[in-house]
Amino acid sequence: MSGNEPSGSASDDGTPPSDESVAESSTDGTDEPASAQDAESAAAQDADAASATASSARSTAPDGQIPDDVTAADLTIEPRSLHPNVRIVWILQSLLSAAILGVIVGAIGVAGFDLGIWVGGVAFLVVSVLTVLHAILRYRIWTYEVREDALYLERGVLTRVRTVVPYVRIQHVDASRGPVERAVGLASSVVYTAGTRGADVTIPGLTPERADDLQERLKQLAILAEGDDAV
């Protein structure tokens, strides 16, 4: 007399259970969530995609020619604020001007009005407070954006100024670093344009890497704009 056959044993014809049935019994239908590290890595790659495109264009076109697969859309930059250290540069420059003004006011107060040198100190303090507040507000407003058609700048405290620089008018772009900027690890990009004298624009408060990257982007966008204009 034979006992009951256990479940999952070979079928009546001697065929072993299929692999699909085993796989179905071993899965619960859920997927493991992606790790936070992978998500952060993907976000960082997306943020640096435009910079990688510009670097690729530099490496593949040493003669100044832009590869056919690089378009103006690949070189754009979303609106960006300046580096926070630019406030230090502006405040130091303003304090120097305030100190000079304080000395002049103090000298005039002593020589012309017999008020004492303290007048110069008061002038220095008042101007210093105002310039510090101005630097903070100026930093909050200052932004730049690289679009497909032009470079857009937004700045100004009392008077808001919006500047649009078409790429076809750009002659060349320089990256400069003054003594104070070097001390705080910053640089500026100076965009020279054709036409009216004094129409050149300066973008301060950039890291040296961003200044170099912006210089290369604007150069390539100017080349693309000249090609489109010629067509």
In order, the DSSP letters of 54-112 are: HHHHHHH-TTSPPPTT--GGGG-EEEEEPPTTHHHHHHHHHHHHHHHHHHHHHHHHHHH
Range of the domain at 108: 86-139
How confident is the model over 22-54, as pLDDT tens digits? Answer: 333 333 444 444 444 454 444 434 444 445 444
Q: Is residue 81 domain-resident?
A: no
Q: Is residue 106 domain-resident?
A: yes
pLDDT score of 212 more than 70: yes
Q: Is residue 14 domain-resident?
A: no
Q: Is residue 166 domain-resident?
A: no
Residue 194: band (very low, low, confident or very high) from pLDDT cuts 50, 70, 90: confident
Q: Is residue 119 domain-resident?
A: yes
Of residues 70 and 17, more confidence is placed in: 70
Q: State the chain's mean pLDDT as an integer.
A: 76
Number of domains making up the chain: 1
Q: Is residue 13 domain-resident?
A: no
pLDDT score of 121 more than 80: yes
- Give me the pLDDT at residue 141, please: 95
Q: Is residue 214 domain-resident?
A: no
This model's pTM is above 0.75? no
